[in-house]
Amino acid sequence: MEEIGIESTLVEAIRNGDKTIEARLGKPRFLRIQEDDMLSIREDFWYEGKILESLSHAVQVKVTQVLYFESFKEMLNAIDFQAAIPNAKTADEALKTYRQYYGPEDEREFGVVAFTFELV
């Protein structure tokens, strides 16, 4: 079972059923994830751009669909952006959240993979 880290407020949104999509750069580790795979979500607590603490196996989800995009912008225009970033008011605001972690040059190199999931 693959473990991925997610910022703590977004883990809470998963628990509440508000976040049902997770997106990452299309690096080999994430491209191996397939429909019906189980993912263990690690809850990461960030402060000033650094992870201060992590809680392994905070939530478990089952991947229901895998989607591929050239960029986060393309993805956010194709999906319900609030399913990925629940507190965003617009797709542009959601894109700003992704820009905190990933630059446009990374997107050009790897593309984006998005996983829809359900809480287990």
Q: E strands within the chain?
A: 2-7, 21-25, 38-47, 50-69, 112-119
Condensed to tens digits (0 to 9), the pLDDT of residues 17-36 reads: 999 999 999 999 999 999 99
State yes or no: pLDDT of 46 exceeds 90. Answer: no
Distances (CA, A) of 1 to 12, 14, 38, 57: 21, 18, 6, 11
Fold (topology level) of 2-119: 2.30.130
The structure's pTM equals 0.90
Mean pLDDT, residues 107-118 taken together = 97
List, in order, residues 6 or more apart from 34 with CB less than 8 Å away.
63, 66
